[in-house]
Amino acid sequence: METAAQDAATIPYDPIYDPFNPELIADPYPFYARLRDEHPLHYNERMDFYVLSRYDDIFHALRKPQIFSSAQGLTPVKDEIAQLGLPPTFIMMDPPDHTRLRRLITKAFTPDTVKELEPTIRQFVVEHVDAMKQKSADGEEVDLVQAVASPLPTMVVADILGVPPEDREKFDPWSDAITSASADFTLDVKEAMDAVQGLVTYFSGMCQARRANPTGDMITKLTQAEVDGETLTDWDIVGFCFVMIAGGNDTTTNLIGNSMKFLHDYPDQHREMIQDPSLIPNAIEEFLRIESVVQGLSRTTLEDVEYYGKTIPAGSKVHNLYASGNRDPRHWGDNADELDIHREIDRHLSFAQGPHFCIGAHVARLMIRIYFEEMGSRIGKNFEIDWDNAERRNSAFTRGFTKIPIHIKA
């Protein structure tokens, strides 16, 4: 007689929510609407995890680390930390360990540190936008992702961490291997473990070098950070570098691509942004809301929890669908599925909430603001994107584009 687990394994996809379902990956939002309306607490028997999809449920879960733990990993896959050989990172810790590390890291990673990046980021964007214009004028094919969206966060993260230009080509393969393994829930362990080991080895060496010969970069500041007599170990710093590379690169690249697609679909709002750049900061929050780059992250219950008359047992994985909560009409109103750059944004979920609010959010906002300011002033609407031949990322975990063919008009 087959067990329930064996029965579940024979089901191709969970019809309500299954991250492997190609139909969901292509267009997740009808699935999310059904979850919110009919299955606000859903159990995926095939993969053994629960799903929360309404804004209020997710918001409050993220603010209760004493019940919803991050220490067992952030995807529905169990034992992901051990399988991937991940370094101990503060995003996969609970208080008080998380509190201690975050205080030390924010001691070095300050708003002033980020503000100092603006001239470098602006110069980089200007040079790459102009290069894109020249290639287009010369009749060459131009991919917006490869021309600007991907190299921009790679440069910024490397600059923050003090990585020399000749070593920066390592970043994207590391980031791709790690995010692909966890983002697609397939855990291609060998490739991901090799990437993690490469990252750990490289930044362990940097930590040792900066302790011996301090410079002004972030690694040096982290080695020198001290709060109440406590300092960061090399392993703590390597964990921070892992978060910056694995999370920072992919997120900004996808945010740029997603935003461009919505501006194509809402040309009047794009025109408003170009004519009045002061609208850009709020527009960025709306882009983050309407198309969450990270569709959701998981927690593990530390005790039994009840939702809608059903009990989630202690030790269960619970997947918080940020992208669903960000379009929940119960919170955002009847036009939750529509772009509105004038919307009053009330705490979207794209950077999470609570103690694990994204530590790099201000960097991402700075990059995307400068990108739109320079694209607006240097190109305006004088471009065409071949959306029919654009390629979307094949993942239920992150949403974005891997290719965006663009032609800039003379």
Q: How many domains does the chain have?
A: 1
Within 10 angstroms of residue 211's Cβ, the number of other Cβ atoms is 14
Query: In this predicted model, what pLDDT tens digit does every residue of 285-327 receive, in sequence order?
Result: 999 999 999 999 999 999 999 999 999 999 999 999 999 999 9
Question: CA 341 to CA 144: how far, in whole Å?
Answer: 23
Mean pLDDT of 236-253: 86
Segment of 70-79, 136-145, 218-227, 392-401 carrying the highest mean pLDDT: 136-145
pLDDT digits (tens, 9 = 90+) for 128-149: 999 999 999 999 999 999 999 9
If pLDDT is split at 50, 70 and 90, which confidence band does 365 have?
Answer: very high
In terms of residue numbers, what domain contains 16? 4-408
Residue pLDDT, tens place only, 165-197: 888 887 777 777 766 655 554 545 667 778 778
Q: Domain containing 138 — which CATH number?
A: 1.10.630.10
Element (H, E) at 253: helix 249-265
Q: What is the mean pLDDT of residues 111-136?
A: 94
Helix then strand then coil, in percent of the chain rounded to 5, is 55, 10, 35
Mean pLDDT of 219-232: 90
Determine what percent of the chain is predicted with pLDDT higher than 90. Answer: 68
C-alpha–C-alpha distance, residues 99 and 122, integer Å: 33
Task: Flag whether pLDDT at 7 surpasses 70.
Answer: no
Report which secondary-structure segment, H or E, holds 405: strand 405-408
Q: Tell me which H or E stretch contains 58.
A: helix 55-62
Percentage of the chain modeled with pLDDT above 70:
92
